[in-house]
A = this chain, B = another copy of it.
């Protein structure tokens, strides 16, 4: 994109240039209008570089316009012959640098990513960088007190409204950027590893943790004794799950330390927020599935307290948002991954039973039931107000199985018998399982992503419930069902594991740029700007007026960012 000087866009600029030198004020206005036109209207890094350059020579002005226009055109010029990125998972066009690329312009490129850095970590650099930006800013129209740095800062603002995510993203996991949307970071470059490391990675821990429990159950359950499963599989899986949980946690902690703004954006993402429950659920899975030879008869309740506390706090937050009726009300944000925010209660209840705190388990079960009810009905109704539910079925839908399975196991654990309630939930899960299996072809055709791991643990949970049921109703059919469900779940997990390893080490595309966190906060995107221009030209406005309004539109779009709706509690 814009890599050769003869591209029509730049040609356009050449035509305008002489005119602009006459009236530099007008130039700025036009340039701004142009930049807001081409969907790249305020990129930190590109600007920063352009600015430094302009200081040195005058001819660079032209080059700078290209930067404003293409956002990263500069890199093409500068980095001719520089090392090409080693992996370009989903980067379109040429990948311009690896995650760990070094060189004289590394600092410049980092400028992009600085906006997602933890505020305190930025400190000194921002102070040295931003003022120079401001004093070099020649735009007289910006006299209204919206300094550029504030604008840049603002775009990474903590409160990206829920509606923006729905507007800018698509796909069942809201992880693909719509075509006409601009994003804050360069699409063609590989971002730093931590920025590409999504919270969904905890899904791997969910999948492996639940597998560890499953193989523990297979080896210890009397109903499955005929299989003679060695408890060592449980042990191995558990150690693997623990290792991966530790690694993922370390990585995400680092992300938390260095790129807190990115985490903040993941937290405000209507789908991703549910994955914040995943780490704690994964921990609870590990605590539940701890190999018998290492585990005391009863775990210490402190373990339960430590793991359930963050879940409870998150629930107070998330359920409160559902109820209080802002932009994140249930009828808008409900999507299959919301099950993650409910299933924690049931997993917590199982763990509570294991540590001997039955009443606490009952408390969690009740919370889970109430919110599962709301969620289940809402999802089944497929309200037209819900924006995040694609028509197509998808791995996401397997989440439907997780909660009733977990509820069934939890009831059995806390009330001690697999009675009517347990059965009802188990059978509901079973029916939903059938319902998804017959629609198996809807599950194909989606790009693999690490989030898929979260869709493996529901199957494992269903297998666990089936084993519990086979213990209660010992017959050929129930045992066969438990066995086949377990096999299916293990097969899927194995496939996922292989797939993940291939993506990670062979194709090096496990962590593509996480575009979802880099959407702009305001809506002055390309489509809109183009519309505006089209209208303007139709209505035969004078050039003067057009230029003015365009530059003002930039200002006002920034200001709109400032006054964006604050529906986030």
The stretch from A39-47, A213-221, A379-387, A500-508 touching chain B is A379-387
Neighbouring B residues of A374 by C-beta, 8 Å: 376-377, 380-381
Which residues of B have CB within 8 Å of A54?
none
Chain B residues, Cβ within 8 Å of A442: 324
A371–B428 Cα gap in the complex (Å)?
9
Say yes or no: B331 contacts A381, CB within 8 Å: yes
Which residue of chain B has the shortest Cβ distance to A367 in the bound complex? B431
Whose C-beta in chain B lies nearest to the C-beta of A313?
B438
A143: interface (CB < 8 Å): no
Contact B428 A382 (CB under 8 A): no
Q: Does any Cβ of B come within 8 Å of A79's Cβ?
A: no
A184 is an interface residue with CB less than 8 A from chain B: no
- For A400-439 the 0/1 string (1 means CB < 8 A from B) is 0000000000000001000011011111101100110011
Is A562 an interface residue, CB under 8 A from the partner?
no
Q: Is the CB of B322 within 8 A of A380?
A: yes
SS of A interface (majority): helix
Q: Which of B330, B359, B380, B424 contacts A366 (CB 8 A)?
A: B424
* A323 & B379 in contact (Cβ 8 Å cutoff): yes
A329: which B residues are within 8 A, CB to CB?
A: 381-382
Question: In the assembly, what is the distance between CA of A362 and CA of B425, in Å?
Answer: 11
Please give the distance in Å from A1's CB to the nearest CB on chain B: 33
Within A535-569, which residues are at the interface with B (CB < 8 Å)?
A: 567
* Contact B420 A316, beta carbon cutoff 8 Å: no
Copies of the chain in the assembly: 3
**Residues of chain B contacted by A369 (CB below 8 angstroms):** 424, 428
Given A330-B381, A374-B377, A366 contacting B425 (CB threshold 8 A): yes
Residues of B contacting A55 in the complex (Cβ-Cβ under 8 angstroms): none
Contact between chains at A331 and B383 (CB < 8 Å) = yes
Q: Which residue of B lies closest to A362 (CB)?
A: B423
Enumerate chain B residues within 8 angstroms of A389, measured Cβ to Cβ: 325
A442 and B379 CA atoms in complex are apart in Å by 29
Q: Are A431 and B325 in contact (CB under 8 A)?
A: no
Query: In chain B, what residue has the closest Cβ to A327?
Result: B391
Residues of B within 8 A of A452 (CB): none
Total interface residues on A, using CB and 8 Å?
58
The CA-CA distance from A359 to B470 in the complex, in Å, is 12
Determine how close the nearest CB of chain B comes to the CB of A273; give it in whole angstroms.
17
Tell whether, in the assembled complex, residue B359 and residue A391 are in contact, meaning their CB atoms are under 8 Å apart: no
Specify which chain B residues have a CB less than 8 angstroms from the CB of A378 in the assembled complex: 377, 381
Q: Are A428 and B367 in contact (CB under 8 A)?
A: yes
Contact in complex: A382, B322 (CB < 8 Å): yes
Contact present for B473 and A384 (CB under 8 Å): no
Q: Are A359 and B473 in contact (CB under 8 A)?
A: yes
- Nearest-neighbor residue (CB-CB) of A359 within chain B: B473
Q: How far does the alpha carbon of A421 sit from the alpha carbon of B421 in the complex, in Å?
A: 11
Q: Which of A370, A385, A390 has the most CB of B within 10 A?
A: A370
Cα A393 to Cα B334 with chains together (Å): 21
Tell me which of B363, B420, B438 contacts A362 (CB under 8 A): B420
Distance in angstroms between the alpha carbons of A325 and B330 in the assembled complex = 17
Q: How far is the CB of A247 from chain B (nearest CB, A)?
A: 34
Contact of A324 among B363, B393, B434 (CB under 8 A): B393
| B434-A316 in contact (CB<8A) | yes
A326 beta carbon closer than 8 Å to chain B: yes
Residue A258, interface by CB 8 Å: no
Query: Judging by beta carbons under 8 Å apart, are B377 and A377 in contact?
Result: yes
For chain A residues 316-353, which have a beta carbon within 8 Å of chain B? Answer: 316, 319-320, 322-326, 329-332, 334
A:486-516 near B, CB below 8 Å: none
Q: Is A373 an interface residue (CB 8 A)?
A: yes
- The A60-81 residues at the B interface (CB cut-off 8 A) are none
Residue of B nearest to A329 (CB): B382
CB distance from A424 to the nearest CB of B (A): 4
Which residues on the B side are within 8 Å of A420 (C-beta)? 362, 415, 421
Does chain B have a CB within 8 A of A365?
yes
List 10 A-B pairs, Cβ < 8 Å.
Answer: A316-B435, A323-B380, A325-B390, A331-B381, A367-B428, A371-B380, A374-B380, A377-B381, A381-B383, A420-B421
Q: Which 7 residue pairs are nearest across A and B when measured between Cβ atoms?
A: A366-B427, A329-B382, A325-B382, A374-B380, A366-B424, A331-B381, A363-B427
